[in-house]
């Protein structure tokens, strides 16, 4: 039952004083525990416990103090909630307003937990509406009778009619993993109280139910405390019924934020860091929502009296937000310090990088944050078990002397690639031609390894690991020489690693390091890989690199200058040829064909006719077409210049990429 004095805005100019707000905080709140674990030391106020025990002494029993009745304990604007655990419902009885003469009380009810089917059929968390059904109680004698209390106590227990069933082997069995159905409350109890007269319209709210039922571990589905859900929902409902949907919801959000801040301060140094981080996360979300709500609430048009009320709500909201922000900043410092110390300790104890993405914690945490210390210890032990013994070479059985020599040769290259190559690259102790040396080793190693490991899946898996490691080394060199390459994905498909047959624990760790390197790089990169494609765009790597490289800019300018010279030369040639053509045409017009007289006295055209020679010369005049060395688009020019001045590391990287494609298709 909510205290009316804490909700009465009696002080002028203030919606609720700080003392009364804290009083409401203490009198209503129950610490979030399961119903069977809600004991006195987990509560913030003994007064609230005693008030609750007057009507509900345990999750399965209900009793009314001697000399009192349910109707006598209710005043106007008060509510009396009953958590009917056995039927998965909450019954709320409230006194009707004095201006309504048809009925004296209103009985409402809502379902606490959705069924497993509703949970798993929703995309995200389901939303329940409260109350789902409201009826008017015309005869308060029903509420005063002992039979009504006995019926409520019966509904607190698990009844056979409300237990869900499932069909297994053509037999109906009780589904213990599911929640009870509240049909007895909605189909029998409420109609009985109202004598089947009708529904009473009331303002409803919507609550998100953060439960989870997974088939992987469905014997222990996670559900929040039903008693806590009842208290929280009833508080929200009463505020909405008293002050309206907007103001009531705003006050509820203020109350919950103030409550969480109060708990974090009160239990400072007593709660685990995991729970503190969870509380800080929820407080941050609630602060953002509350700030948005008060902004939307204050922008509504209202009359003069409403404006005063809005200003009071803004003042209270800003006060709570300020205090909550101080709490978050204060506790965040302690949590960050603890986390940095914990990670520093575990980093010293481990020679490998800690990666928490691979650890499945769903079985252990039940939708709450993991226990960080235990989680780190378990992950450290898992990594140590994975590392195992050092890498050892063991030739296949029935290996001859010549094959043994080939095996030792392959092992020597694999050792160099696995151990020496990465260390050399990390220490930057390599020459400018180191990439070419790695490519030459790969060309020597690959055909022999493919032949020797033809029928050996384990050896062929080591071959793939060696190739992936060379690609990693060349990628590290390229990124070192060209920092822009770090913004582009590697283009390496590491899904092949998942299908390799690796029997050694050292090989497993080796494969994990390779996969982790490429995945980590691709996650941080913002652009897709375009090294093996012929299509270009302004965002291509070659274009952007050429735009920022001084040497390539100089080369581009030289090409453009040469293009300009060739253009001027071609124009000059055209002018000269045009002038020559016009001179020839002028001479042709001024001349006549030449004729000779043969021995028979006939006139014949001379084969050495000057005019005809001029005509032939004009007809055979031509100029070769002028072709530009570069296209008009600037990004295509930069792509061509990049290919002309391709960095050595990119040449080797491209050669290995094409080599891998050819090897894969062959």
Structure tokens at 547: 């735009």
User: What tokens does 157 get?
Assistant: 């227990």
Burial 607-623, CB ≥16 within 10 A → b, else e: eebebbebeeebeeeee
**Which residue is associated with the tokens 């071609």?**
570
Cis bond upstream, residue 131 (ω within 30): yes
- pLDDT 10s digits, 360-416: 433 433 333 445 555 555 555 555 454 444 445 555 554 555 666 777 788 888 888
Asked if 144 contacts 162 with a C-beta cutoff of 8 angstroms, the reply is no
Q: Hey, what are 280's tokens?
A: 């800080």
Please, are residues 156 and 61 in contact by the beta-carbon 8 Å criterion?
yes
Q: Interior CA angle at 47 toward 46 and 50, to 5°? A: 85
Per-residue pLDDT, 44: 38
- Among 264, 286, 260, 261, residue whose Cα is nearest residue 273: 264
Q: At what angle do helices 457-481 and 505-524 cross, to 10 degrees?
A: 40
What pLDDT digit, counting tens, does each position of 142-175 carry? Answer: 777 777 777 888 888 877 777 777 776 677 777 7
In sequence order, the 6+-apart residues with CB closer than 8 A to the CB of 218 are: 116, 177
CA distance linking residue 381 with residue 389, whole number of Å: 15
- The 3-state DSSP class for residue 127 equals strand
Contact in structure between 563 and 629 (CB atoms under 8 Å) = yes
93 φ/ψ angles, rounded to the nearest 5 degrees: -110, 130
Query: How many Å apart are CA 24 and CA 231, to the nearest integer?
Result: 13
**Helices 245-266 + 18-28 axis angle, to 10:** 80
Residue ranges of the chain with per-residue pLDDT less than 50: 1-60, 215-218, 301, 351-370, 384, 386-391, 398, 665-666
Spatial neighbors of 407 by CB under 8 A, at least 6 apart, are: 393, 395, 396, 399, 452
Of 456, 459, 458, 488, whose CA–CA distance to 475 is shortest? Answer: 488
| pTM (2 d.p.) | 0.46
**What was the pLDDT predicted at 3?**
36
Name the 3-class secondary structure at 548: helix
Q: Note whether 478 and 415 are within 8 A (CB).
A: no
Q: What are 193's two structure tokens?
A: 């109280």
Alpha-helical regions (H) of 123-172: 141-144, 146-155
Chain centre to alpha carbon of residue 533:
30
């Amino acid at each position: 039952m909510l205290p009316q004095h804490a909700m009465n805005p009696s002080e002028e100019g203030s919606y609720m004083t700080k003392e009364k707000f804290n009083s409401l905080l203490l009198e209503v709140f129950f610490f979030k525990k399961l119903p069977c674990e809600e004991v006195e030391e987990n509560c913030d106020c003994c007064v609230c416990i005693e008030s609750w025990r007057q009507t509900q002494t345990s999750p399965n029993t209900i009793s009314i103090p001697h000399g009192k009745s349910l109707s006598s304990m209710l005043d106007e604007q008060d509510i009396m909630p009953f958590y009917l655990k056995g039927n998965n419902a909450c019954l709320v009885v409230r006194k009707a307003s004095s201006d309504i003469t048809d009925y004296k009380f209103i009985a409402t009810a809502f379902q606490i937990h959705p069924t497993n089917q509703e949970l798993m059929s929703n995309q995200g968390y389901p939303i329940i509406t409260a109350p789902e059904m409201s009826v008017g109680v015309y005869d308060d004698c029903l509420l005063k009778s002992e039979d009504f209390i006995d019926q409520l106590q019966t509904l607190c227990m698990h009844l056979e009619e409300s237990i869900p069933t499932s069909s297994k082997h053509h037999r109906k069995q009780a589904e213990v993993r599911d929640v009870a159905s509240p049909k007895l409350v909605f189909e029998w109890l409420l109609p009985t109280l109202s004598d089947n007269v009708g529904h009473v319209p009331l303002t409803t709210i919507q609550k998100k139910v953060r439960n989870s039922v997974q088939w992987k571990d469905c014997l222990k589905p996670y559900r929040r405390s039903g008693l806590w859900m009842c208290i929280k929902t009833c508080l929200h409902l009463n505020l909405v019924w008293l002050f309206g949907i907007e103001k009531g919801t705003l006050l509820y959000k203020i109350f919950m934020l103030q409550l969480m801040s109060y708990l974090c301060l009160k239990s400072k140094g007593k709660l685990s860091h995991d729970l503190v981080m969870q509380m800080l996360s929820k407080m941050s979300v609630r602060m953002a929502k509350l700030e948005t709500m008060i902004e939307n609430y204050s922008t509504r048009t209202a009359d003069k009296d409403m404006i005063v009320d809005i200003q009071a709500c803004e003042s209270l909201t800003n006060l709570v937000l300020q205090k909550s922000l101080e709490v978050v900043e204060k506790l965040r410092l302690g949590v960050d310090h603890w986390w940095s110390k914990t990670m520093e300790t575990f980093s010293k104890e481990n020679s490998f990088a800690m990666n928490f993405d691979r650890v499945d914690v769903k079985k252990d945490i039940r939708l709450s944050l993991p226990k960080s210390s235990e989680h780190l210890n378990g992950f450290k032990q898992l990594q140590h078990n994975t590392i195992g013994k050092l890498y050892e070479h063991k030739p296949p059985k029935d290996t001859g002397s010549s094959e043994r020599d080939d095996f030792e040769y392959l092992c020597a290259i694999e050792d160099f690639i696995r151990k020496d190559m990465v260390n050399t690259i990390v220490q930057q102790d390599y020459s400018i031609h180191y990439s070419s040396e790695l490519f030459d080793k790969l060309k020597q190693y690959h055909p022999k390894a493919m032949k020797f490991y033809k029928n050996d899946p384990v050896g062929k898996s080591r071959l793939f690991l060696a190739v992936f490691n060379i690609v990693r080394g060349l990628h590290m060199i390229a990124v070192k020489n060209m920092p822009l390459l770090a913004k582009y994905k590697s283009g390496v498909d590491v899904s092949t690693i998942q299908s390799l047959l690796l029997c050694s624990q050292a090989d497993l760790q080796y494969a994990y390091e390779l996969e982790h390197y490429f995945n980590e790089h691709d996650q941080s990169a913002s652009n897709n890989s375009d090294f093996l494609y012929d299509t270009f765009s302004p965002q291509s790597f070659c274009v952007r690199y050429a735009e920022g490289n001084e040497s390539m800019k100089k080369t581009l300018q030289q090409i453009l200058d040469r293009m300009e010279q060739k253009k001027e030369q071609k124009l000059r040639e055209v002018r000269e040829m045009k002038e020559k053509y016009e001179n020839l045409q002028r001479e042709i017009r001024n001349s006549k064909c030449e004729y000779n007289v043969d021995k028979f006295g006939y006139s014949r055209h001379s084969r050495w006719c000057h005019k005809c020679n001029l005509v032939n010369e004009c007809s055979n005049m031509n100029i070769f077409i002028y072709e530009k060395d570069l296209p008009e688009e600037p990004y295509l020019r930069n792509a061509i210049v990049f290919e002309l001045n391709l960095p050595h590391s990119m040449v080797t990287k491209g050669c290995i990429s094409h080599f891998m494609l050819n090897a894969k298709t062959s």
